[in-house]
């Protein structure tokens, strides 16, 4: 086994940045270069102002301050990073393909392939290449073929080491990972490469938490883990619709079923629908893979998880329109939250986007307050849908840096993200400033509905009457 002293990571995003920061913190003897082709992003990672870091995660800026410039470096020089490192992590984005075969379903592997070609071309000595990005099962075999076609005198070991961190809790998830998964080839070189990577994690995690498997199991386990997590949310969200019709309370149902240790209590929080950059894309990818291998029924089964999620977002928007006397035309609706979950500035696939789109289609005017998301990002999200022009989006979607201002003169508040601070607001003051009757649509069931009703609000939660 080689004791690794130099690592490079290609991709300085939500995974590359925090993961390498923690590895650097726990392995001061390893020099780590994080590289990205986006110079603005690298400049932000190098900024002295910690508020500028391109990723917001509780605890991240403290670690960056401790290790940056010591054994963690950010740069745009990908070729140099490839030459320098004994071990290279590929942490680039793998979005859903937007063109050609598999459009709208398969993972777009162009960034991963670019990395593989660049590594294959630039390597001057043996390398361990680690797939950190989430990839379809059997990607490692394509990566190996690319290496083999470019260099015959250098040995490349390819490992799969998917990342399981969740945004908003990334640092804690990394420091206290339930498990680290490493898939490698069953050859002597493959097993040695696994040991080299394992040693890096053993700097802070007990050995029992490091699971090694064959490479295909590791690649497939990542897609499967996300599919199972998302499936639980869609399952409880499907039940929430039934609760609203029957008088059952989805939070009580979730508590009752979650108390069964076989089911467990996590990921049973009914919501406006799951967002985030990965659940949807990874399930679509899983569906695509099932169908690619002729497993139509298996694909249809997983696709339903996404259909229920779309249904949940649509239902939430429709419930707002229905409750507001079947019209929101010209009405002001305040959105509390735009991020896809609390404690992150990430908005990718946030339910907020489609809910806003639907309400704007009904001619509502929306004012958003989110503690971490910038207005430019929100407008970009809306423009990406391509439903209307940028000017129209800017007209229909406004932004306030103060939640009380966002709520002022509105007809309704829609709680989209479960930011803790929403629970601490002076709701009496908010009520006084709103048009009457004043509505709260609690898309996260985080507020005390009885208290709000006492103030005078008409309240609708998810999965309760
Ligand atoms: P991201 O978009 O935040 O970051 C990816 C970065 O890679 C970008 O900054 C991009 O500029 C850079 N990049 C792309 N191609 C490059 C190239 N050829 N050379 C140099 N830089 C390049 O993406 P992310 O959220 O960090 O996700 C990365 C991967 O990790 C994805 O496969 C994702 O599914 C997976 N993942 C993400 C999370 C998460 O919470 N975001 C969690 C687990 C796994
Ligand atoms: C998810 C997984 O939890 C991570 O393990 C995985 O590494 C990551 O995807 C990935 O591959 O990208 P993330 O999307 O960051 O992490 O956040 P989650 O906490 O899983 O939340 C996803 C969405 O589901 C959010 O919109 C959240 O609000 C929603 N959610 C979550 C619910 O609606 N109900 C729940 O009970 C839990």
Instruction: Specify the CATH number for the domain of residue 366.
Output: 3.40.50.720
- In a domain? residue 223: no
Q: Is the pLDDT of residue 151 over 80?
A: no
CA of 377 to the centre of ligand 1 (A): 18
The mean-pLDDT minimum among 88-102, 147-161, 216-230 falls in: 147-161
Dump the DSSP string for 22-48: HHHHH-TTSEEEEE-S-HHHHHHHT-S
| Number of compact structural domains in the chain | 2
Give 91-112 pLDDT, tens digit per residue. Answer: 999 999 999 999 999 999 999 9
Q: CA nearest 195: which of 241, 128, 280, 139? A: 128
Measured distance CA(204)–CA(344) in Å, rounded:
25
CA of 113 to the centre of ligand 1 (A): 13
Buried b (16+ CB within 10 A) or exposed e, 117-127: ebbbebbeeeb
**Do 354 and 313 meet the contact criterion of CB atoms below 8 Å apart?**
yes
- Tokens representing 365 are 């005017």
Q: What angle do CA 414, 350, 238 make, to 5 degrees?
A: 75
Which ligand is located closest to the Cα atom of residue 90?
1
381 and 316 within one domain: yes
Last residue of some domain: 205, 227, 256? 205
| Position 193 in a domain | yes
Domain coverage including residue 406: 241-465
> Which residues sit opposite 206 in a β-bridge?
none
Question: pLDDT band at 465, cuts 50/70/90?
Answer: confident
249 and 193 belong to one structural domain: no
From CA 447, how far away is CA 464, in angstroms rounded?
13
CA distance 309 to 409: 31
- Whether residue 286 is found in the same domain as residue 424: yes
Q: Which of 76-80, 106-110, 132-136, 147-151 shows the lowest mean pLDDT across its residues?
A: 147-151
pTM of the predicted structure, to 2 decimals: 0.96
- My answer on whether 255 and 387 are in the same domain is yes
Label residues 82-116 b or e (16+ Cβ within 10 Å = b). Answer: beebbbbbbbbbbebbeeeebeebbbbbebbeebb
**210 domain-assigned:** no
Determine, yes or no, domain membership for 39.
Answer: yes
- What are 315-341's pLDDT values in tens digits? 999 999 999 999 999 999 999 999 999
Tell me, yes or no, whether 309 and 185 share the same domain: no
Best substitution site from 11, 236, 305, 341 to test ligand 2's pocket, by max atoms within 8 Å of Cβ? 341
Q: Which atom of ligand 1 is nearest to the CA of 132?
A: 30
């Amino acid at each position: 086994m080689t004791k690794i002293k130099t690592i490079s990571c290609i991709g300085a995003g939500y995974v590359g940045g925090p993961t390498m920061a923690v590895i650097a913190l726990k392995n001061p003897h390893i020099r780590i270069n994080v590289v990205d082709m986006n110079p603005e992003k690298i400049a932000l990672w190098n900024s002295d102002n910690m508020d500028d870091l391109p990723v917001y995660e509780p605890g991240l800026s403290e670690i960056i301050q401790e290790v940056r410039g010591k054994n963690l470096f950010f740069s745009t020089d990908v070729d140099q990073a490839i030459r320098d490192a004994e071990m290279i992590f590929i942490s680039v984005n793998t979005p859903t393909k937007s063109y050609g075969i598999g459009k709208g379903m398969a993972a777009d592997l162009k960034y991963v392939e670019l990395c593989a070609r660049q590594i294959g071309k630039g390597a001057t000595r043996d390398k361990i290449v680690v797939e950190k990005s989430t990839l379809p099962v059997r990607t490692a075999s394509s990566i190996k073929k690319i290496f083999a076609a470019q260099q015959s005198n250098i040995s490349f070991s390819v490992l799969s080491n998917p990342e399981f961190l969740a945004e908003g809790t990334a640092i804690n998830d990394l420091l206290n990972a339930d498990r680290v998964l490493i898939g490698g080839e069953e050859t002597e070189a493959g097993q040695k490469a696994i040991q080299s990577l394992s040693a890096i994690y053993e700097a802070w995690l007990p050995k029992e938490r490091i699971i090694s498997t064959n490479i295909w199991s590791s690649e497939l386990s990542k897609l499967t883990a996300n599919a199972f997590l998302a499936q639980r949310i869609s399952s409880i969200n499907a039940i929430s619709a039934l609760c609203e019709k029957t008088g059952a309370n989805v939070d009580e149902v979730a508590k009752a079923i979650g108390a069964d240790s076989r089911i467990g209590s996590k990921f049973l929080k009914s919501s406006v629908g799951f967002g985030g950059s990965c659940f949807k894309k990874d399930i679509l990818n899983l569906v695509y893979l099932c169908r690619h291998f002729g497993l139509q029924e298996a694909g249809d089964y997983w696709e339903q998880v996404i259909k229920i999620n779309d249904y949940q977002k649509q239902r939430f928007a429709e419930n707002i329109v229905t409750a507001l006397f079947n019209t929101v035309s010209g009405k002001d609706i305040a959105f509390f939250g735009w991020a896809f979950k609390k404690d992150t500035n990430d908005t990718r696939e946030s339910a907020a986007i489609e809910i806003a789109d639907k309400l704007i289609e009904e001619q509502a005017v929306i004012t958003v307050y989110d503690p971490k998301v910038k207005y430019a990002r929100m407008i970009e999200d809306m423009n990406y849908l391509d439903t209307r022009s940028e000017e129209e989006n800017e007209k229909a979607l406004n932004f306030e840096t103060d939640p009380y201002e966002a709520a002022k003169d509105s007809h309704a508040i829609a709680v989209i993200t479960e930011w803790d601070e929403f629970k601490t607001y002076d709701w009496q003051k908010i009520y006084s400033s709103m048009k009457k009757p004043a509505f709260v649509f609690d898309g996260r069931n985080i507020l005390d509905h009885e208290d709000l009703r006492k103030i005078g609000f008409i309240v609708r939660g998810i999965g309760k009457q």
